A and B are shown apart, each in its own frame.
Chain A
Amino acid sequence: MTTGVPGVVETIEAHGETTLVVDPARIVEACRHLRDEEGFNELVDLSGVDYLGWGAKGVAGYIGTAQGRDLNATGSQGFQRVPDPMPKRFAVVYHLLRVSESPARLRLKAWLDDGEEIDTVLPVWPAADWYEREAYDMYGIVFRGHPNLVRILMPDEWEGFPLRKDYPLGGEPVRFSGER
């Protein structure tokens, strides 16, 4: 199923799911191939992930350390194992589905650094429209060639990208009625 897909860097099998890591420069080529040759006719989901600080500070700040499991420290459950470092900060994750007599699912993943752009897959699956806008809205990932890449869930004039790991939770002051 996964042979002959253009631009594939790595194939990962885990939890019964297949992930193809794709060169971001060839993402459209890979998607077109998967749609036309492999029959993946539906893009069910597209999501950004921010890996800033992945495994560096210890999980949740108070259990374990990046050096690994320390049974003598408080909160001794610690890391089972230090997470593998990720190649770049952002991942764009595509979940594909083959709606046919022989259903199949596939995950595509493209790695991007902050400021790097990726081509839109909207010409392949029109469903990518809002998903890419959401990834842009939440992570600031720019999809080159998207005809309407504006914020979708946050207000238009919003500053910052809320789902980034360096965007604080609760950083937004709460306004009350009657306040100026």
Chain B
Amino acid sequence: MTVVPETRIYEGTRIPSPCPTKLVVDPAEHDLADILTVNFGPNHPSTHGVLRLIVDLDGEHVAGIEAVVGYLHTGFEKNMEAKTYWKGITYPERIDYLSFQSNELVFVLAIEKLLALETPEKAVWMRMCLSELSRIHSHLVWLGTSALELGAISMFWYAFRERDLLLDLFEMVTGVRMHTRYFQVGGLAEDIPEGFYDAARAFSRHMPHAVDDYEGILDRNGIWLRRTKGIGLLSAEDALALGQSGPMARASGIDWDLRRNEPYLAYDQVDFEVPVYPNGDVYDRYKVHMDEMRQSARIVAQCVSRLEELRGAPWIADDRKVVLPPREELHTSMESLIHHFKIVTEGYLVPEGEVYVANESARGECGCYLVSDGGPKPWRVKFRAPSFAALQATATCVRGTAVADLVAVAGSLDPVMGDVDR
């Protein structure tokens, strides 16, 4: 297995120098008098949120570009320092608001690593199942909006049709459609409802056909192909230098997926393939997303089968210093009432230390660096946001394209501005 490919998409590096995220107009190639500087965003329907691109145009060609971020900065990390751990779990979901389960999961895993807490098998498989559903959810929104920006409006409605089925599943399990806060330290917040197994299995059977339909719309569409193939190139070397991960890296030929290369949860016990494409263009990023949805549906089916065998098993660890006692015990047990009160008011203490935990979210390596001083609130939480890294590649990918392709390229980077700005 070769992780980093030998073949090159282009010779040398295209990363601008000296500042890797800022492409400055080269006076040798462009007449500076012809340069028109345009603000693309922050309020523009094609920027996936509040991304602002300062573009220097020479006619139709992009001669210089700089991405400006921060319009959605809400200080999640600062706020989390003032909240007890179990209250803090609500925050990470809102960081990447499309792939919310992954962020929630990475924070919970980091706390559990510091606590050295074991989670029951049922919780592990359910977390995996929901992470994969969340990946499909995120990819669907990506596909719908990116295709919409290139004029394929019908794609948006199809993608959102399946997305609604997913939100119904989330609602069935957790009671809410987005930002579910279903993962607790130690396991899950509630048991899995009985109807979930059949609904999730039906969805996992339906999804591959839906992806076939999407490809039927796009893969034979001449406009789509011409606007995506060979656009927004990024070589494997440049991708690594710019810290890319996830679909961005895999579309540049890097055979890297944390689910397989550094397995967490129970990913070493399920069968799936990691799609890798060699050309590093917008089209290959699209193909990676499509294949990943198929693979995720495959993983969901395996998770549901395993979860059905685990019916009746505990869904949360039985550690009364960390986990809320069962509700019915509060009426009869003094101890349980004390534990409940302590956890809700003071929170639980997490041993002093620092950990970095990463998982494979829909857009790549979603990491959480957590520092604890031994108290009930985190000392420092830092989220490694895959979208933040992806946007650093804007200047490299956009180099030499026309302004119309800018939309295709920016969309293919799959930025979620909540994730970028935190």
A and B physically associate? yes
Which A positions have Cβ atoms within 8 angstroms of B?
Answer: 14-15, 17, 19, 41-45, 47, 49-51, 54-55, 59-60, 62-64, 75, 77, 79-81, 83-84, 93, 95, 97, 99-101, 103, 105, 107, 122, 125-127, 129-130, 147-148, 151-155, 162-163, 167, 169
Q: Is the CB–CB distance between A59 and B69 below 8 Å? A: no
Question: CB < 8 Å: which of A43, A100, A105 contacts B243?
Answer: A43
Question: CB < 8 Å: which of B18, B256, B342, B382 contacts A77?
Answer: B342
In the bound complex, residues from chain A placing their C-beta under 8 Å from that of B243 are 42-44, 125, 127
Smallest CB–CB gap between B7 and chain A, Å? 17
Which B positions have Cβ atoms within 8 angstroms of A?
Answer: 1-4, 15, 18-22, 69-70, 73, 75, 77-79, 81-82, 84, 113-114, 240-243, 245, 249, 254, 256, 261-262, 342, 346, 349, 351-356, 358, 365, 367, 369, 371, 373-377, 379-380, 382, 384, 388-389, 391-392, 421-422
In the bound complex, residues from chain A placing their C-beta under 8 Å from that of B346 are 62-63, 75, 77
Question: CB < 8 Å: which of B69, B256, B342 contacts A153?
Answer: B69
In the bound complex, residues from chain B placing their C-beta under 8 Å from that of A45 are 356, 367, 369, 382, 384
In the bound complex, residues from chain A placing their C-beta under 8 Å from that of B84 are 60
Q: Is the CB–CB distance between B367 and A44 below 8 Å? A: yes
Closest chain A residue to B116, Cβ basis: A15
Q: Is the CB–CB distance between A60 and B376 below 8 Å? A: yes
Q: Is the CB–CB distance between B358 and A44 below 8 Å? A: yes
- Known A55-B373, A59-B374, A77-B342: A107·B78 in contact at CB below 8 Å: no
Q: Is the CB–CB distance between B382 and A59 below 8 Å? A: no
Closest chain B residue to A15, Cβ basis: B355
Q: Is the CB–CB distance between B21 and A49 below 8 Å? A: no
Closest chain A residue to B114, Cβ basis: A15
Q: Is the CB–CB distance between A14 and B70 below 8 Å? A: no
Q: Is the CB–CB distance between B77 and A95 below 8 Å? A: no
Inter-chain CA distance A169–B245, complex, in Å, is: 33
- Known A45-B384, A60-B377, A153-B70: A15·B242 in contact at CB below 8 Å: no
Smallest CB–CB gap between B298 and chain A, Å? 24
In the bound complex, residues from chain A placing their C-beta under 8 Å from that of B240 are 41-42, 99
A-B contact list, 14 entries, CB within 8 Å: A17-B356, A42-B245, A44-B365, A45-B367, A63-B346, A80-B352, A84-B352, A95-B356, A95-B367, A126-B15, A127-B392, A155-B70, A163-B78, A169-B79
Inter-chain CA distance A7–B82, complex, in Å, is: 35
Inter-chain CA distance A177–B365, complex, in Å, is: 39
Question: CB < 8 Å: which of B1, B22, B114, B380 contacts A148?
Answer: B22
- Known A45-B382, A99-B3, A125-B243: A59·B377 in contact at CB below 8 Å: yes
Smallest CB–CB gap between B314 and chain A, Å? 25
- Known A80-B351, A163-B77: A63·B369 in contact at CB below 8 Å: no
Question: CB < 8 Å: which of B19, B82, B349 contacts A147?
Answer: B19
Q: Is the CB–CB distance between B70 and A154 below 8 Å? A: yes
In the bound complex, residues from chain A placing their C-beta under 8 Å from that of B70 are 151-155
Q: Which 8 A-B pairs have the closest CB atoms?
A: A59-B375, A127-B243, A126-B20, A153-B70, A47-B382, A45-B384, A153-B73, A147-B18
- Known A126-B15, A154-B73: A79·B379 in contact at CB below 8 Å: no
Inter-chain CA distance A84–B392, complex, in Å, is: 37
Smallest CB–CB gap between A31 and chain B, Å? 13
In the bound complex, residues from chain A placing their C-beta under 8 Å from that of B15 are 126
In the bound complex, residues from chain B placing their C-beta under 8 Å from that of A147 are 18-19
In the bound complex, residues from chain A placing their C-beta under 8 Å from that of B358 are 44
Q: Is the CB–CB distance between B353 and A60 below 8 Å? A: no
Q: Is the CB–CB distance between A14 and B353 below 8 Å? A: yes
In the bound complex, residues from chain A placing their C-beta under 8 Å from that of B342 are 77
Q: Is the CB–CB distance between A148 and B375 below 8 Å? A: no
In the bound complex, residues from chain A placing their C-beta under 8 Å from that of B421 are 153
Smallest CB–CB gap between B14 and chain A, Å? 11
Q: Is the CB–CB distance between B4 and A162 below 8 Å? A: no
Q: Is the CB–CB distance between A54 and B373 below 8 Å? A: yes
Smallest CB–CB gap between B378 and chain A, Å? 10
- Known A77-B342, A154-B70: A83·B2 in contact at CB below 8 Å: no
Smallest CB–CB gap between B53 and chain A, Å? 15
Question: CB < 8 Å: which of B1, B19, B349, B367 contacts A129?
Answer: B19
Q: Is the CB–CB distance between A101 and B77 below 8 Å? A: no
Smallest CB–CB gap between A15 and chain B, Å? 5
Q: Is the CB–CB distance between A17 and B254 below 8 Å? A: no
In the bound complex, residues from chain B placing their C-beta under 8 Å from that of A17 are 355-356
